[in-house]
Homo-oligomer: A and B are copies of this chain.
Amino acid sequence: MSIHRRIVLASRPTGFPTVDNFRLEEAPVPTPGEGEVLVRNHFLSLDPYMRGRMSTGKSYAEPQPLDQVMIGGTAGEVVASRHKHYAVGDRVTAMGGWQEYSLIGGSSLAMLQKVDTRQIPLSAYLGPVGMPGITAWYGLSQIIAPKPRETVIVSAAAGAVGSVVGQLAKARGCRVIGIAGGAEKCAYVVEELGFDACIDYKGAADVRALDARLAEVAPNGIDGCFENVGGMGLDAVLGRMNPFGRIAVCGMIAGYNGEPIPITNATAILRMRLKVQGFIVFEQPDTVGWAVAELSAMLASGRLRYRETIAEGLDSAPAAFLGLLQGRNVGKQLVRLV
């Protein structure tokens, strides 16, 4: 019986998580029963939503149970199958969790998906054509729904979601502004992804300083905002929104460790007749086909660019995840297992 490695949640964080909240274990590689599939995971996806699952409390999802394998998206290869729709050698994505091998059966089969890696690399199914890309597509096209020449702003612009939002908005003829942390990320966002401008929030001491930068780069105001962060950046953006602006709230990473992140500039919602809408992409299955079609076509033709930050080996996952929460990655944060 062969052995593989997996990472479980050992304890719940108070404030910012540490590597001690996780524990590396060994376990037998499972054998698929009737109707089950064994997948060898090549890549783990690390995503900000995982921080929310580490805590108890009112959220849209159940918390991650203690002492069980950390939840997470994976991409890999079928290595044993007793399910008629999957064969050894199939490339698949799944919610396989932080482990080297995943047994997929029962309800987890719903998330097991064969993917075509002839034109699109396997890891991209965890990034620009996977959950982050579909999230970007939904918030931009279904909530912000920008018209050509409108100004759209995106926070965490160098991240897996934000980078796709901006490129989709450019493809729709918008002026696109990013907000990101650090000169390197801002250069990437403008030079490689084609945004019109990018504001380094680390160079802005307070809301007033951010507001002054926004006035420079968005002289006609802001019509759409794709919000990944919350807090000071959102307050500054609210002050520059045009009438009937739309704010798609995808994340509020500024508050993921329990800090309160009030919207100080709330009266802007009324004064400017804004729509502020939170969403979770998993809940929008009807539009996934449209999203994947547009994203795949753009990616295959070179019009959708992306970067990956790759940590090597399962044991690097906790530190890589903490780095993600601190914004150390550019583009999609992955862990490579094979």
Contacts and interface: CB of A to CB of B under 8 A. Distances in A.
Interface stretch (A12-20, A272-280, A300-308, A315-323): A272-280
B267 A276 contact: no
A109 interface: no
Given A60-B243, A243-B60, A269 B262 contact: no
A114 to B, nearest CB: 29
A262 B266 contact: yes
A2 interface: no
A58 interface: yes
A58 B267 CA distance: 10
Interface of A: 58-60, 230, 243, 249-252, 255, 260-264, 266-267, 269-280, 283
Most buried by B among A250, A252, A260, A276: A276
Nearest to A273: B278
B280 A277 contact: no
Contact of A272 (B266, B269, B275, B278): B278
Contact of A267 (B250, B252, B267, B271): B252
A132 B58 CA distance: 36
Given A260-B264, A274-B278, 16 more contacts: A60-B243, A230-B267, A249-B270, A250-B270, A251-B270, A263-B266, A269-B276, A269-B278, A273-B277, A273-B279, A273-B280, A274-B276, A274-B277, A275-B275, A275-B278, A276-B276
Contact of A271 (B276, B277, B278): B278
Contacts of A230: 266-267
Given A60-B243, A243-B60, A267 B261 contact: yes
19 contacts: A60-B271, A60-B272, A60-B273, A252-B266, A252-B267, A252-B270, A255-B266, A260-B264, A262-B262, A262-B263, A263-B263, A263-B266, A269-B276, A269-B278, A271-B278, A272-B278, A273-B277, A275-B277, A275-B278
A29 B164 CA distance: 64
A86 B273 CA distance: 35
Contacts of A243: 60
Contacts of A264: 260, 262
Contact of A283 (B59, B273, B283): B273
A229 to B, nearest CB: 11
Contacts of A269: 249, 276-278
